[in-house]
Amino acid sequence: MKKAGLMFLLLIIVVKSYCWGFYAHKLINYYAVFLLPPEMMVLYKKNITFINDHAVDPDKRRYALKEEAPRHYIDMDRYGTPPYRTLPRKWKDAVQCYTEDSLKAHGIVPWWIQVMLQRLTRAFKEMDQPGILKLSAEIGHYIADSHVPLHACSNHNGQFTNQRGIHGFWESRVPELLAEKEWDFLIGRAAYIKDPLDFTWKRVLESASEADSVLFLERKLSSGFPSERKYAFETRSGVMARQYSSEYSIAYNILLNDMVERRLRQSIYAVASFWYTAWVNAGRPDLRKLADKDFSEKELKEFDKLNDKWNNEKVKGRDCD
């Protein structure tokens, strides 16, 4: 009886999944810090815990703000077929062509990254330390999301192809299982990005082109895999839960030919390069001069409020579950 009760408890434990997963978002921001030049490292390394912890604030905000969700994705397949020439790459032109509402209905991540870049550049110019840290952590999130194939596809959780759960499978389960043990995140140095919008679009179009493989290869694997071994009770973040088995996850990763690791590495490089670009465009301010300014009472309360909403409310708009 006791055993049956325990099984029931295990079955009802739901492991929430998030865009790139909390684990991968934190990892991306963390490793990005080590690609920075010493003039920036002086601020970022000292605050690496903050940059790491707050990588996930934009996902938490999806529980507080309905405008937040479309900032994390763009359904490229809503705009025809590659290379999607009908969709203007510049925001103003795209609005003229499709209206703001309809763009927002299908996601706006490439443009939102540019808004965040402008804000971060301004924070550097104003030597606003809390602003630099907060915006760095958050732009890292959106850039990382733009590298996820299922963030560029309307079948974002396999809901149209009977593959529900594939979103978290690709971006959470696989990296949580393999990143620390097998993957390499020594990537070199951040680079200046001359045309950030163009850079972003290249990455988004790569994501869109990889979405088909993400879906197709899982269907292929599933059809030839013993169904009783597809899922297993295994620990995740210290919690025992039913999820894609390690065996199935490893087989999927092999079929993907290291796509998840590659997109993680590209995310890390892009995040560091955007931080670096904002700093250069702000005139390379001397970050050693920044007073060790803490967050204000008001800002700290905002963080608490965000956590509160995330813990107690339902997600507004599209979810990754």
Task: Provide the minimum distance between the beta carbon of 42 and Zn ion in the complex, in angstroms, as a whole number.
Answer: 29
Task: Provide the minimum distance between the beta carbon of 109 and Zn ion in the complex, in angstroms, as a whole number.
Answer: 9
230 to 259, contacts with Zn ion by CB under 5 A? none
CB of 19 or CB of 133, closer to Zn ion: 19
CB of 70 or CB of 196, closer to Zn ion: 70
Angstrom distance (rounded) from CA 71 to CA 37: 29
CB-CB contact of 283 with 39 (8 Å): no
Q: Which amino acid belongs to residue 24?
A: A
Task: Provide the minimum distance between the beta carbon of 60 and Zn ion in the complex, in angstroms, as a whole number.
Answer: 10
* Burial class of residue 198 (count of CB atoms within 10 Å of its CB; 0-12, 13-18, 19+): exposed
Q: Which of 129, 81, 87 is nearest to 106 (CA)?
A: 87
The yes or no reply on residue 72 touching Zn ion (CB under 5 A) is: yes
Angstrom distance (rounded) from CA 145 to CA 220: 25
Angstrom distance (rounded) from CA 119 to CA 96: 24
* Backbone phi, psi, residue 96, to 5°: -60, -35
Task: Provide the minimum distance between the beta carbon of 255 and Zn ion in the complex, in angstroms, as a whole number.
Answer: 25
In the chain, % helix, strand, coil (3-state, to 5) comes to 65, 5, 30
CB of 57 or CB of 145, closer to Zn ion: 145
The kind and range of the H/E element at 231 are: strand 231-236
Q: Which range, of 31-39, 58-66, 189-197, 247-255, touches Zn ion by CB under 5 A?
A: 58-66
Q: Which residue is nearest to Zn ion, using beta carbons? A: 19
CB of 134 or CB of 279, closer to Zn ion: 134
The yes or no reply on residue 54 touching Zn ion (CB under 5 A) is: no
CB-CB contact of 204 with 146 (8 Å): yes
Query: How many residues of this chain interact with Zn ion, rule: CB under 5 A?
Result: 4
Q: Which range, of 57-65, 187-195, 223-231, 267-275, touches Zn ion by CB under 5 A?
A: 57-65
Q: Which range, of 66-74, 106-114, 242-250, 270-278, touches Zn ion by CB under 5 A?
A: 66-74
Please provide the distance, in angstroms rounded to a whole number, between the alpha carbons at the two ends of the chain. Answer: 32
CB of 61 or CB of 265, closer to Zn ion: 61
DSSP state, residue 77: G
Query: Given candidates 32, 34, 59, 177, which one binds Zn ion under the rule CB under 5 A?
Result: 59
The yes or no reply on residue 145 touching Zn ion (CB under 5 A) is: yes
Query: Given candidates 19, 33, 55, 152, which one binds Zn ion under the rule CB under 5 A?
Result: 19
Residue 55 half-sphere exposure, CB side, CA atoms within 13 Å? 30
Task: Provide the minimum distance between the beta carbon of 21 and Zn ion in the complex, in angstroms, as a whole number.
Answer: 10
Q: Answer positive or negative: Cα dihedral of 200, 201, 206, 211.
A: positive
Q: Which range, of 82-90, 116-124, 144-152, 305-313, touches Zn ion by CB under 5 A?
A: 144-152
Q: Answer positive or negative: Cα dihedral of 87, 91, 95, 97.
A: negative
278 to 297, contacts with Zn ion by CB under 5 A? none
Task: Provide the minimum distance between the beta carbon of 72 and Zn ion in the complex, in angstroms, as a whole number.
Answer: 4
Q: Which range, of 15-23, 30-38, 240-248, 274-282, touches Zn ion by CB under 5 A?
A: 15-23
Q: Which of 258, 244, 43, 12 is nearest to 133 (CA)?
A: 43
Q: Which range, of 7-15, 19-27, 214-222, 297-305, touches Zn ion by CB under 5 A?
A: 19-27
Residues near Zn ion (CB under 5 A) are: 19, 59, 72, 145
